Amino acid sequence: MTYDLSSFEARAKEVHEWLQKEFATIRTGRATTALLDNVRVDSYGAQVPLNQVANINVEDPRTLAISVWNADQAQDVERALLDADLGLSVNVSDSGIRVSFPELTAERREQLMKLAKQKLEEGRISLRTARDEAIKQMEADELSKDEVFRAKETLQKKVDDFNKQMETLYETKEKEIQI
């Protein structure tokens, strides 16, 4: 009898997807709409994601154009962008809001690398937690010592594979930041 690791695999995939989303929000040399995913705007007393009050488009490699649906909320969007502290310059005009991404400095690149490394470590911690829960479940089930040993070996191989995948994501993000 082999132990079913599907719940661990599902959790590990969630961690992998989370890390991909987190890396997408870390700024590189190009402007992407994903960078503004975590910006929350005060809209009629509630904090909502920016994409629920405006359209966001990439205008050129260093500029995003934001078209607020309700012109009265332009100041709220501007305030939210400034409060997000993403190192952006925000210009409000009649045609909408332009967000410009300045050239990355060496110091800012270093900060972004630290942030990416921190996110990678958070992903590893989540993966280890999922592994520990799977091991506890194995030991709680009525399996022989040999079956538990084999299941733990299989589990560790899967953990190593997911760690390699997350490390590859980190290396890709590192290259993007350095460009």
Tens digit of each residue's pLDDT (9 = 90 or more) over 101-131: 877 788 878 888 898 999 999 999 999 999 9
Q: Which of 66, 166, 91, 80 is nearest to 126 (CA)?
A: 166
pLDDT at 33 over 70: yes
Higher-confidence residue: 57 or 86? 57
pLDDT reported for residue 162: 95
pLDDT reported for residue 132: 93
Written in H, E and C, the secondary structure of the chain is: CCCCCHHHHHHHHHHHHHHHHHHHCCCCCCCCHHHHCCCEEEECCEEEEHHHCEEEEEEECCEEEEEECCHHHHHHHHHHHHHCCCCCEEEEECCEEEEECCCCCHHHHHHHHHHHHHHHHHHHHHHHHHHHHHHHHHHHCCCCHHHHHHHHHHHHHHHHHHHHHHHHHHHHHHHHHHC
Domains and CATH numbers, the chain: 6-24+105-178 (1.10.132.20), 33-100 (3.30.1360.40)
pLDDT reported for residue 1: 47
pLDDT at 85 over 80: no
pLDDT reported for residue 2: 62
2-11, 38-47, 129-138, 141-150: range with highest mean pLDDT = 129-138
Q: Rounded mean pLDDT of 125-153?
A: 88
Q: Which of 15, 16, 17, 37 is nearest to 26 (CA)?
A: 37
Phi, psi for 174 (deg, rounded to 5)? -60, -45
Give per-residue pLDDT as tens, 52-80.
888 888 888 888 899 988 888 888 888 88
Q: Which of 102, 130, 111 is nearest to 6 (CA)?
A: 130
Q: Amino acid identity, residue 131?
A: R
d(CA 177, CA 134): 35
pLDDT at 35 over 50: yes
